[in-house]
Amino acid sequence: MLHLQILAVVFSLIPIFFFVLAITPSTFFGEHCRRYGDPTFNSKNTSSDRRPSTCGGTDINLKCPFQFSGDDLCPEHDVIEFSCENNRSVLSLSVGSYPEMQQYNFSVELNSIDYEQRTLRIFDPGVQKNNCSTLPVNPLSPDDDYYQPDAGYEMEIDPDTGSLVFVSCKNPVKSKYHPLYVDTACCNVTANHFSKMKAPPGYYSYVVVGESVVASDIEESCTIYKTAAVDLRCLPNVTAGDISFQDIHNLLSNGHELKWHGGLEIRRSLFCIYRGMIQ
């Protein structure tokens, strides 16, 4: 009901907007929709006649809303930009608002971009596929929306994504049911590996696995080091406890699927629908 009331107020202000600008609605919306074209997103109509973008020796024809920094493929403020760093395609994303805003960099598999489903796959730079002692450095959460400043798009990971909690424990922990404590020692990930914690010698290191792990699930002798997002549906026998840290690391090295959605496209659609109503 509140949303309907807000919408009614917004539409009531539209005539005032046109009165102040001294233009007619048909002129405004006609020009707007001619500028941006069909508001319906169609991947077949977003290809560019320009030369393919190149990063790391691989050529790829990007379509809007994606482009590399310095390109001029998509409309201003309606673009998601990649950078090319050390022959890697990098996507910089921000989360939160100023002054607490944080920025993270992810590697991107450009061939994974699905323009119809609006998804792409990103990889944490801290995770090396063939080295299971490497850990993610960027926090990801299904509760957060990620974005690029001044861009009209937001991105999110699957809301059903679970969490991994890396902990250092004074006493050994054994568990067969939720939440599972998986020993990380097989990959040489020890308590001392968590350098920021400066854990004393003899502490035990685990990754806690569960659909919705909360602070009360963590043993009292354990200290949380970091959390990481993971799709638990892809872990084998997670309910039976028959998994290893190698299984978990293999999943982390496969990256995360990110979905994008754009407020500008929605506003354009509303503009052009309204234009059709008043003509």
Span 183-218, pLDDT tens digits: 888 887 765 555 454 556 788 889 998 777 888 889
Residue 44, both tokens: 């077949």
pLDDT at 147: 92
- Higher-confidence residue: 117 or 62? 117
Residue 55 lies in a domain: yes
Angle between helices 2-21 and 25-36 (to 10 degrees): 100
Same domain, 118 and 180: no
Q: Tens digits of per-residue pLDDT, 83-97?
A: 999 888 999 999 987
Is residue 88 domain-shared with residue 112, that is, in the same domain?
Answer: yes
Task: Looking at the structure, tell me whether residues 86 and 101 fall in a common domain.
Answer: yes
Task: Report the distance separating Cα 48 and Cα 42, nearest Å.
Answer: 13
Spatial distance between the Cα atoms of 67 and 82, rounded to a whole number of angstroms:
6
Say what the pLDDT of residue 121 is: 92
Give residue 253's identity as a one-letter amino acid code.
S
Range of the domain at 55: 43-131+257-263
For the entire predicted model, the pTM comes to: 0.70
| Alpha-carbon span 261 to 156, nearest angstrom | 9
Alpha carbons 136 and 71: distance in angstroms, whole number? 30
Q: Confidence class of residue 1 from pLDDT cuts 50, 70 and 90?
A: low
Question: Both 49 and 113 in a single domain?
Answer: yes
Q: Residues 139, 227: contact at Cβ < 8 Å?
A: yes
Higher pLDDT, residue 263 or 175: 175
* Nearby residues of 60 by Cβ (< 8 Å), 6 or more positions away: 52, 53, 54, 110, 111
Highest average pLDDT, of 7-21, 217-231, 236-250, comes from 217-231
Identify each DSSP E strand in the chain by its residue range: 53-55, 58-60, 66-68, 80-85, 88-95, 102-114, 119-123, 146-147, 153-157, 162-169, 180-183, 204-210, 222-230, 256-262
What are the pLDDT digits (tens) for 9-63? 545 655 554 444 444 444 444 443 333 333 333 444 444 445 566 787 667 778 8
Q: Is residue 23 in some structural domain?
A: yes
